[in-house]
Amino acid sequence: MKQSLSAILFALAIVIASFILGNAVINRNRPQGTINVTGLGESNFTSDLIVWEGNFSRESRDLKIAYADLESDKNAVMAYLKSKGIPEDQLIFNAVSTNPQYQQNYSNDGRYLGQTFTGYQLNQSLKIESKEVEKVEKISREITELLNQGITFYSQNPRYYYTELESLKLEMIAKATEDATIRAERIAENSKGSLGDLISANMGIFQITGQNSGEDYSWGGTFNTADKNKTASITMKLIFEVD
């Protein structure tokens, strides 16, 4: 009786061992590890905010005269811009800067003889922020018309921004995540496995470049303000388990 029981237990042990070893072989043949993928989210957009700056100046030996001339120029600049359709509350005039001017004197043999006061230079800058991008863009090109009034106005290149940037960034993250997930699924299928759980997700640098500009990306992120039409992009790095 004891011998029969021992034989039965021995046979059962062999069956269990065979089952365990069989499963070990099957699991060893299944794909193991992780998949690392990078997805790209990209979108073209047009700026909806323009910032334009310029400045004008006057010079005189008499400070009062210089201030009076500069104030006259300011009124002329304001009248010109208002005539072009810019509301007065969009005209931001900064404080006047005053700079004494000196002439450096040298002898015929090159020795420095000191300096002579020649007068004052007064400068005032102007900034316009507007959502009427095309209008302000056009004015920035035509502002040289003020030269006909004897006003020396120096115009800077406009800067272009987008007020819905945060919403755009979220949209780009979603696109990049979807792109990375599709890549991971294809890799898993090609390796005869299936995509498992997401282990980690890391967002790359948000980049804004001019459309068709050939502008290089930067490790710290590019934020183009020179072009009205731009391209936004971002990457997402995902790591998945493989079943």
> Which residue, 53, 26, 38, 14, is CA-closest to 157?
53
- What's the CATH code of the domain at 78? 3.30.70.2970
Alpha helix segments (H runs only) across the chain? 2-29, 63-83, 133-142, 165-190
Q: Which stretch of 114-118, 200-204, 219-223 has the lowest confidence by average pLDDT? A: 219-223
119 belongs to a structural domain: yes
What mean pLDDT do residues 25-34 have? Answer: 50
Q: Which of 104, 133, 160 is the last residue of a domain?
A: 160
Q: Which residue has the higher pLDDT, 83 or 6?
A: 83
156 and 172 in one domain?
Answer: no
**148 pLDDT above the threshold of 70:** yes
CATH at 230: 3.30.110.170
Q: Are residues 108 and 176 both part of a single domain?
A: no
Last residue of some domain: 160, 187, 211?
Answer: 160
Q: Judge if 151 and 171 occupy the same domain.
A: no
- pLDDT beyond 90 at 59: yes
Amino acid letter for position 165 = L
Is 224 inside a domain boundary? Answer: yes
The CA distance from 96 to 240, in Å, is 60
pLDDT band at 12 (very low <50, low <70, confident <90, very high): very low
Residues 154, 109, single domain; the answer is yes
Residues 154 and 61 occupy one common structural domain: yes
- From the number of C-beta atoms within 10 Å of its C-beta (0-12, 13-18, 19+), residue 233 rates as buried
Domain count, the chain: 2
234 falls within a domain: yes
Give the domain extent around 57. Answer: 50-160
Q: What is the mean pLDDT of residues 80-85?
A: 95
Which tokens in the block code for residue 154?
A: 């120096």
Domain termination residue (choose one: 124, 144, 160): 160
Same domain for 139 and 63, yes or no, is yes
Q: Is 148 helix (H, G, I), strand (E, B) or coil?
A: helix
Whether residues 54 and 42 fall in one domain: no
Same domain, 156 and 174: no
Q: pLDDT tens across 109-130, in order?
A: 889 989 999 999 999 999 999 9
d(CA 3, CA 132): 99
**Whether pLDDT at 26 is above 80:** no
Within a domain: 108: yes
Q: Is the pLDDT of residue 9 over 90?
A: no
Helix, coil or strand: residue 72: helix
